[in-house]
Amino acid sequence: MKLIAMIFAAALVFPTTMTLASDISARPGWHVIPTNKDHATLAGDLSAAVKANGLIVVTRAGPTKAAARRGITIPDNLVVGVFNNDYAVRVLALSTAAMIEAPIRFYVTEKEDGTATLSYKTPGHVFSPYLDEGGEALAALADELDVRFREIAAAAAK
């Protein structure tokens, strides 16, 4: 009987299904694009848009599958790091410290209604702490990346 009580108590403390803390909302330096696409479709369209715009998916990470292996169900959630070697070399020529921010990330999150949101911090926002070091050239590079990221986001969300 004591074992059953302990199992019941553990089930209350460690739920196997979790809800969203909240939807992603607009905040300074972020673009947040709700879509009517499901998570898998938006993630696939994002990868295609990255490639079509001359960048590379460098990293893909998310907690959803690992949580499921632990018996925990959470909404689909994926962070996609995007960059390329040309930009890496250019950033390094301007600010070694700024390279810590690469790859710059997109974030694909599933909402309660099954649709997905595409979010990202703009490259201009990401690189802003390094402008004293990288100067106008780093600002121009960030502006160039801002345009690419907007194009990628628009294509992926379309």
Q: What is the CATH number of the domain that holds 76?
A: 3.30.310.70
At residue 19, does pLDDT exceed 80? no
Q: Give the DSSP H/E element, type plus range, for residue 13.
A: helix 2-13
Condensed to tens digits (0 to 9), the pLDDT of residues 89-114 reads 999 999 999 999 999 999 999 999 99
* Cis, peptide link before residue 75, omega less than 30° from 0: no
Band (pLDDT 50/70/90 cuts) for residue 116 is very high
Q: Please state the separation of Cα 86 from the chain's center in Å.
A: 21
CA-closest candidate to residue 98, choices 128, 58, 59, 120: 128
Interval 17-31 mean pLDDT:
73
Q: Which residue range is the domain that position 133 belongs to?
A: 2-157
At residue 23, does pLDDT exceed 80? no
At residue 86, does pLDDT exceed 50? yes
Number of compact structural domains in the chain: 1
pLDDT of residue 22: 58
Band (pLDDT 50/70/90 cuts) for residue 157 is very high
CB-CB contact of 143 with 46 (8 Å): no
Measure the CA–CA gap between 12 and 95, rounded to whole angstroms. 50
